[in-house]
Structure 1
Amino acid sequence: MEQNLSLDFEHEFVQNSERVKSVDLHPTEPWVLVGLYSGSISIWNYQTKTEEKSFKLSESPVRSAKFIARENWVIAASDDKYIRVCSYETGQKISEFEEHTDYIRSLAVHPFLPYVVSASDDNVLKLWDWKKSWACLKTFQGHSHYVMSVAFNPKDPSTFASASLDGTLKIWSVDSSAPILTLDGHLKGVNCADYFISNDKEYLISGSDDYTAKVWDYHSKNSVQTLEGHGNNVIAVCSHSELPIIITASEDSTVKIWDNVTTGFKTP
């Protein structure tokens, strides 16, 4: 059930830029990291509404950029198939490497190990270890189309989920190159996926080109709720860290907020 909530904007600012391809929040600083179509990354302070830093990384679009806060780094992936790492304090390049054979769509940073997973249009995911000079520890194969999104499981970060235009979600372990679980229920490709906890239970949410988002019970392996109401592809999903709400964004130019207490997420 879609809910009408009363929201007040605490900070609002508008700045013309190249198309924004990714957004990430710093865990302790009031910073928003954006990856731009121009090949640059920018860090904005959402309290002062000013740009703190900007770095030109590539001549190709940056599709995914993430903070690695414990190292004071930013990691970014661009359409030239390179992953680049730089210090957000100095702008100094830490590393750059090319291993994928097509666009890199998404990056996920492990919460405490020196790992990053990358997802690509070459249908594979790769696990990188920055303590081993960014060695590729493992390649994960199993999808049959572009891999659009990757996210670590916050309750069990030895596992992660991927979303693909082949219409599936897959769950992987960092210890195995084969998927440990496949979730199949969308009618078209899946663009995004994320984990969340509700009533002490673990769920996944996915967004698809079938205009819906689905909630999956991680343990029963069932889709327990389909969120309908968007008029175009659902391209981003997330849950609030404290409130029982889910947020979906679509190419229909809307963002919807869903109350997961009301929807209930009961297994059929």
Structure 2
Amino acid sequence: MCSSDFICFYDWVDCRLIRRIDVNVKNVYWADSGDLVAIASDTSFYILKYNRDVVASYLEGGKPVDEGVEDAFELLHEVNERVRTGIWVGDCFIYNNSLWRLNYCVGGEVTTMYHLDRPMYLLGYLANQSRVYLIDKEFNIIGYTLLLSLIEYKTLVMRGDLEHANEILSSIPKAQYNSVAHFLESRGMLEEALEIATDADYKFDLAVQLGKLDVAKAIVIEAQSESKWKQLGELAMSTGKLEMAEECLLQAKDLSGLLLLYSSLGDAEGIEKLASLAKEHGKNNVAFLCLFMLGKVEDCIQLLVDSSRIPEAALMARSYLPSKVPEIVAIWRNDLSKINPKAAESLADPSEYPNLFEDWQVALTVEKSVASQRDHYPPADQYLNHAEKSGMILVEAFKRMQVIEHEEPEDAAEENGEPDQQVSHV
């Protein structure tokens, strides 16, 4: 019995109230087993399980049933679709919705079988033909294939009977295996879905979710997809499989990822190879960072010049390699003269006007003193021993030492060594 606001279920024998459910009801569909029921409303439908044993135990206990049995029904699924017509086949609910799509629902997973081209209404399902039949307003009857073996398989999985489900699997066509795999994934059975899936992209996604990097790698080797190589490389890096990460990132040509990997490992050889690779692919930003981390200042400056970033090259030379400034200024002046001759003439060369460049001679002296250390790469595990020096300004340090030397006696100065040696040590 139902109204627009609720539905009441009664016992057939004694007409006792079993359960009242407050819901807007348009139709009710019972499964043949009597254990499942679909209640359709204006905007959605609900699949409930009837707990027959709970009701029987409650009634046998002689308890009052004026307000029904609270645990008589268990809500299994709610689907936000309006049902036009529907039927049950085992534990599978077949229906067409307000958009005239023919769907079936097993275990809360909705699968669209066909998009109907006109309003049609369900007649029934013939198991021996594995076909569901519909009729339109002109009384034309049309049948669509819905494999009984597929329904049985999903039903057995829902019941947890995987042994019998696997026996039925062989009777399902291979073309349906991806659909089966998606169903298993929705049930959280990723391992089983991976074994069944046939689509390479889908198998790759499942392998990644499961963290099975070797399986994912075997798939991507066949597919040769840069995006998948990159995804696998990032996953391998996050799980500590650094050799695989390097291989994947190289295959993906993910230079930024390789830069992160090599710099984290303190791999100078890898960074040097990456610099060459980045130049080949025109990734000058990555190449510059690699060269800068290696202390190859000359190569950094040349890369800036080759990239038509001559002003930046001049500034870098002034900061890190002052002896190179006159050469870069000449290149800059020649390049700028093609656009603005007056601006080109205004560029000052420190070799001609050293007075315009603060501490110019000191900078040249410091550069000469530290040149021997430029190709020296301390191990990464010694970082803490050198961390304090990373913010040191060598020119300022050199000037401070000069002041100290003038204040100390000559013998103390001899003990401390020559200024050049002190800067080199710093």
Question: In which range does the TM-score fall when normalised by the shorter chain?
Answer: 0.3 to 0.5
Q: Higher RCO, 1 or 2 (CA under 8 Å, sep at least 6)?
A: 1
TM-score relative to the length of structure 2 = 0.28
Structure holding more helix per residue: 2
- Rg larger in 1 or in 2? 2
TM-score relative to the length of structure 1 = 0.42
